[in-house]
Amino acid sequence: MTTDALAWIDEELAALDASGLRTTIRTLESPMDGWVTIEGRRLLNFCANNYLGLANDPRVRRAAAAAIDRYGVGPGAVRTIAGTTALHVELEQKLAAFKHAEACITFQSGFAANLATVPALMGPEDVIFSDELNHASIIDACRLSRAMVVRYAHNDVEDLRRKIAGTPTYRRRLIVSDGVFSMDGDIAPLDELCSAAEDHGIILMVDDAHGEGVLGRGGRGIVDHFGLHGRVHIEVGTLSKAFGVVGGLVAGRQSIVDWLRQRGRPFLFSSAMTAPDAAACIEAVNILEESDELVNRLWENARVMRQAMQQLGFNTGHSQTPIIPVILGEAPLAQHFSRRLFEEGLFAMAIGYPTVPMGKARIRVMNTAAHSPADLEQALTIFERVGRALAVI
Ligand SMILES: *Cc1c(COP(=O)(O)O)cnc(C)c1O
């Protein structure tokens, strides 16, 4: 008798169950918004990266519906073979103008944008300097490129400079960092990374997934936040977080965008986001161009939540953005805390090792412009009640 070749999967899954590390995915019965419906109950939502509440904005919804009426749904094939819709071209032009970049190219996701970009620029003879806490999609993109990867200590430009000095042999070099780190909400010192890159003639790439629509004037991102226009070679972004839709982007010099249209494998070998996606993204950019009201409301909500959480006695770490970690300690406590919040009517995720270090398990509070002052008050009441019940505060 032969053994089942896939039996190991059942064993691994059982081990995840036993250690409490198996991720359960909640099923939503409503749009993604400040409130969501799960198991028939309305819950305050503090899980989503929907920073500006655009995922269910009526203008964005209408734009997507109108695009279906005009262009249908599916793209038919990859853009290089079957052509691209006028909507995708318009979106790329709008994003470039919004971000004050020479040009922009869009992808199916932020993950795909990274997988397209790093291997198109770097190969086996090259060296990539990568922040040790960079996002999984950057790590995978670096591996795909087969370049040598040198990790530097998180946000530590002195360590980066030491690593550059200690790596004398290369063909080309790249420095790559997240813009905003999503677990602690801290911001990369992009101005100092830029100086290091310029001092040594190294390509600089920032993945601004959590800064797009959040940082900078009217949400123009981390390059705008630091006033580094024209000095950061590659700005990767996502359209699935603050923009509320789905998709990824690379903004930068025209030559880089032209090169990615020739050599970015997810661009060449995978179909584009759909027409309604592109139309919804265009409308999201229009909304941001018209007014910074949503961005301001997001930051005001985050300020209120952070201050009140600290007054209650919670440890909110050192976030500089609307991501507020509520650091609790061990993973089972964070999971228990999240379950209690859920019972009380609030949806917020527990995050533990290995996503964050041992002993630093937390509830991650993702703020959004979609919450009213009354929503925040209600959320804080729930946090206080659960915090006291579990003797955290
Ligand atoms: C979320 C995230 C991504 C992935 O973006 P998607 O559009 O969801 O694929 C990539 N990089 C970073 C830093 C992120 O936070």
- And the tokens for 213? 């629509």
* Residue owning the nearest CA to atom 6 of ligand 1: 110
List, by residue range, all CATH 3.90.1150.10 domains of the chain: 17-46+292-389
Q: Predicted confidence band at 315 (pLDDT cuts at 50, 70, 90)?
A: very high
3-state secondary structure of 124: coil
CA distances from 7 to 11, 14, 20, 21, 332 (A): 7, 11, 20, 20, 28
Range of lowest pLDDT (208-212, 288-292, 351-355):
351-355
Please state the rounded mean pLDDT for residues 367-390.
98
Residues 6 or more apart whose Cβ sits within 8 Å of residue 18:
none
* pLDDT at residue number 104: 98
3-state secondary structure of 351: strand
Q: Predicted confidence band at 3 (pLDDT cuts at 50, 70, 90)?
A: confident
Percent of the chain with pLDDT over 70: 99
List, by residue range, all CATH 3.40.640.10 domains of the chain: 58-290
Per-residue pLDDT tens digits for 80-139: 999 999 999 999 999 999 999 999 999 999 999 999 999 999 999 999 999 999 999 999
* CA 383 to centroid of ligand 1, rounded, Å: 28
- And the tokens for 20? 């409490």
* CA 393 to centroid of ligand 1, rounded, Å: 33
Does the C-beta of 238 come closer than 6 Å to ligand 1?
yes
* Residue owning the nearest CA to atom 5 of ligand 1: 110
**Residue 117, Cβ neighbours under 10 Å: how many?**
31
Position 28, amino acid: L
* CA 387 to centroid of ligand 1, rounded, Å: 31
Does the C-beta of 50 come closer than 6 Å to ligand 1?
no
Mean pLDDT score across all residues of the chain: 96
- CA neighbor of 221 nearest in space, from 130, 370, 98, 131: 98
- In contact, 222 and 216? CB cutoff 8 Å: yes
Does the C-beta of 178 come closer than 6 Å to ligand 1?
yes
CATH superfamily entry for domain 17-46+292-389:
Aspartate Aminotransferase, domain 1 (3.90.1150.10)
pTM of the model: 0.96
Per-residue pLDDT tens digits for 45-72: 999 999 999 999 999 999 999 999 999 9
Catalytic residue list: 182, 210, 241
Phi and psi of 204, rounded to 5°?
-115, 130
Which of 135, 210, 235 is the pocket-test mutation for ligand 1 (most atoms within 8 Å of CB)? 135
More confident residue, 1 or 288: 288
Q: Is the pLDDT of residue 353 over 90?
A: no
Atom of ligand 1 nearest to the CA of 248: 7
CA distances from 197 to 64, 201, 204 (A): 40, 6, 6
- CA neighbor of 250 nearest in space, from 209, 219, 214: 209
Which of 111, 115, 138, 187 is the pocket-test mutation for ligand 1 (most atoms within 8 Å of CB)? 111
Which of 238, 281, 364 is the pocket-test mutation for ligand 1 (most atoms within 8 Å of CB)? 238
Percent of the chain with pLDDT over 90: 94
Per-residue pLDDT tens digits for 223-232: 999 999 999 9
Architecture of domain 58-290: 3-Layer(aba) Sandwich (3.40)
> Strand pairing of 234-238 and 248-252?
antiparallel
* pLDDT at residue number 1: 64
* CA 11 to centroid of ligand 1, rounded, Å: 30
Does the C-beta of 51 come closer than 6 Å to ligand 1?
no
Residue ranges with strand state E in the chain: 35-38, 41-45, 103-107, 127-131, 148-152, 173-178, 203-207, 234-238, 248-252, 323-329, 346-347, 349-351, 361-366
